[in-house]
Structure 1
Amino acid sequence: MTRPAIVRKQRIILLALFALIVLTVFLGMGLGYAKLSYGRLLPTLFGHGNFKEHFILYEVRLPRIVITLLSGMALALAGSVLQSVTRNDLADPGIIGINSGAGVGVAFFFLFMPLEANTFAYVLPLAAFGGALLTSALIYLFAYKRHAGLQPVRFVLTGVGFSMALSGVMVVLISSADRQKVDFISKWLAGNIWGTDWPFIWALLPWLAVLVPFVLYKANKLNLLALDESVAVGVGVALARERLELLLAAVALAAAAVSVTGGIAFVGLMAPHIAKALVGPRNQLFMPVAILIGGWLLVLADTIGRNVGTADGVPAGIVVALIGAPYFVYLLMKKI
């Protein structure tokens, strides 16, 4: 298939995904514990609804939908970067310990730091980033060899080990906390979308506004990193610097997302794979597709989760895991 044909195919897929997101968002705005008639959605959206309709749409549904959409996009892009940098198809922020590190950062901040309502939403992503950054630095040090550089397979395996160890750290942290705070951390670990107010959206947007263009700008470098190391060095790629910059970007994206959505895994695993199957492995082509797929997956998972079971529904992280865990096993079997 010629490159113009692939680009044309990518554009068609992007339009189709955009339409799918709009349809899912429209369905999600009407579904929930408090029903909102679809016939009243558009009038309410444009300011012609009554107080109840306006409250349900603008204070309950829309913030949650926007948060899940942005977070899914961030997780998908983080997973795309990690898979390209580590050259491992099983890499995902939730699997290799980044989400766990962010979770410990969030738990430490929530349990032991003074909480101020007017700054809480903006400081939380920083706390998550701090925990994720420290975890990633340790994983990087353990996976780095002085004369051979970063070992991609070792990086993933070390990350899995850290993820398990940090789960124990989380248990220790919450063991002496009061009941209310333990409930919050437990819901966070399950992937419960909790940051459902507009301030959390304004806190998340700057991270994506900076990091998404940066990663897309680095797409060609990611293509070169996928080559044999000697070839990449031969064409002028500074391997250590590029890997470090891109890993930091992936860590920041994942930390910002999970700080408001909870410990959600597998979105960053599935979205890049589906995108590559649709448009091929070139980062310039599949990453925009993966971003939209990730956003759609998390919006769909949350829409399903909050409309089944009790009034609280099922956490989006559990719904995603029900889809993602079998997919992870399938990929693992292919590797073996």
Structure 2
Amino acid sequence: MIANSFIRKQRIVLLILTLLILGTMVISLGMGASAVSFDRIIPTLFGHGTFKDEFVLFSIRLPRIIITLLAGMALALSGSILQSITRNDLADPGIIGINSGAGVAIAIFFLYFPIEVGSFVYTLPLVAFLGAITTAILIYIFSYSKKEGLQPVRMILVGVGFQMALSGIMVVLISSSDNRKVDFISKWLAGNIWGADWPFIWALLPWLVVLIPFTLYKANRLNILNLSEPVAVGLGISLQKERIILLVVAVALSASAVSVTGGIAFIGLLSPHIAKALVGPRNQLFIPVSVLIGGLLLLFADTIGRSLLSTASLPAGIIVSLIGAPYFIYLLFKK
């Protein structure tokens, strides 16, 4: 039973985050290479703008903003799940190699398989999922001990090792490929929001619509998995079954996000930590907050990246890394 005071606090935090997201969206709509004055944004959204303003907002800015928001939410939820099932505050799909596995699968598919324009958008998340789930299974196998079960510290170390190995494979793929296709892979590695069009939104949205409610349904299980293994077993939880199911969910969320945004790390690390600091460690409370924080962080990073330089835009992945890497080092020393 969660006290009413905690629920009220969560609702206030969710309201503030929603307002911050809406404010960031308005700022992001008006900023960039083709600027739209802020006093024209609201009339244009309601169909009273010029052709130029409508084209910039509806064909360029709005789809990019929505896809960035959805991807940030997916990465934050993926990180929240991973930190609970591994009982490790350093778990993040970008740090432990899951995103790299998705990236290698996308690179192989893009470089060596025939691509059909109509189905490419919807095939890409599935390809990313296959690469990510294969990587996650291997990491899980190497991190598991029959005597001690899943070892959280070993999982992080194995994941970092896999990330380095997969990065090497990516370099080999790039060095032996056509220059025109290498440009796409390079942008993906940098965390450039490339899938900024309406079809990519429809490809990503179903994953979140299904998996966010499912994760909230499993929130009590996640609370128990956060406890020690003997306690979890004593409460009647099938540890391996629940971990595998939730690991698949985390991988699916991460893969669907990075398939359209590129290799972005640290969102899944930062968001759960900030959410827990705001509303506490109960999954029912912090997961919705973490989801909104993830969307806000990635949207903020992309807005800054597009506006920082007048001649070019910095990939959102680089901006997030500038924030997340120092925090990751801080956690390493703290833990």
Q: Report the equivalent of 2:268.
A: 268
Secondary structure of the 2:307 match is coil
Q: Tell me the distance in 2 between the aligned counterparts of 1:171 and 1:259.
A: 18
The range that moved more, 141-150 or 37-46, is 141-150
Runs of 4+ in 1 over 6 A off after TM superposition: none
1:112 is aligned to 112
User: Aligned partners of 1:311, 1:222: CA distance in 2, in Å?
Assistant: 46
Query: What is the identity, as a one-letter code, of the residue corresponding to 2:58?
Result: Y
Q: By how many angstroms is 1:285 displaced?
A: 0.4
Q: What is the CA deviation profile of residues 13-43 of structure 1, one whole-angstrom value per residue up to 9, with x for unaligned ones?
A: 0000000000000000000100101111111
Separation in 1, partners of 2:125, 2:332: 32
Residue in structure 2 matched with residue 131 of structure 1 by the alignment = 131
CA distance in 2, matches of 1:333, 1:150: 23
Note if 1:143 corresponds to 2:129. Answer: no
Correspondence 1:1-336 to 2 at 5 A: 3-335=3-335
- What is the aligned-residue RMSD (CA, Å)? 0.9
**C-alpha displacement at 1:173, in angstroms?**
1.1
Q: Report Cα offsets for 1:247-288 as digits up to 9, x if no partner.
A: 100000000000000000000000000000001101000010
Residue deviations 1:177-222, cap 9 Å, x none?
1111111101100000000010000000111111111111101100
Once the two structures are TM-superposed, the CA of residue 307 in structure 1 deviates from its matched residue by 0.9
TM-score normalised by L of structure 1: 0.98
Q: Note the C-alpha offset of 1:310.
A: 4.7
Runs of 5+ unmatched residues, structure 2? none
Counterpart of 2:204, as a letter, is: L
Cα deviation, 1:126-184, whole Å, max 9, x if unaligned, reads 11101101111111111112343222221111111100000001011111111111111
Q: Is the 8 A contact 1:86 1:152 kept in 2?
A: yes
Question: 8 Å contact 2:207–2:256 — kept in the other structure?
Answer: yes
Q: How many residues align?
A: 334
Task: Please state whether the residue corresponding to 2:118 is helix, strand or coil.
Answer: coil
> Is the Cα–Cα contact under 8 Å of residues 86 and 156 in structure 1 kept in the other structure?
no
Which whole-Å CA distance do the structure 2 matches of 1:128 and 1:284 have between them?
Answer: 28
Verify the 8 A CA contact 1:142 1:158 in the aligned structure 2. Answer: yes
Aligned-residue sequence identity (percent) comes to: 67
Tell me the distance in 2 between the aligned counterparts of 1:45 and 1:191. 28
The amino acid that maps onto 2:158 is T
Name the CA distance, whole Å, in 1 between partners of 2:40 and 2:133: 45
Letter in 2 for 1:217: Y
Between the aligned partners of 1:157 and 1:322, the Cα distance in structure 2 is: 22
Matched-pair contact (CA < 8 Å) for 1:107–1:173: yes
TM-score, normalization by structure 2 = 0.98
Q: Distance in 1 between matches of 2:126 and 2:200?
A: 12
Letter in 2 for 1:267: I
Contact 2:192 2:315 in 1 (8 A): yes
CA distance in 2, matches of 1:144, 1:323: 32
Deviation readout 1:46-83 (Å, 9 max, x if unpaired): 11112111110000000000000000000000000000
For structure 1, list consecutive stretches of 5 or more residues without a partner in the other structure: none
**8 Å Cα contact 2:275/2:289 also seen in 1:** yes
Worse-matched range after superposition: 149-158 or 77-86: 149-158
CA distance in 2 between counterparts of 1:180 and 1:319 reads 26
Distance in structure 2 (CA, Å) of the matches to 1:153 and 1:215 = 24
**More displaced, 5-14 or 140-149?**
140-149
State the one-letter code of the partner of 2:271.
A
- Report how far residue 329 of structure 1 moved: 0.9
* 8 Å CA contact retained: 2:33, 2:310: no
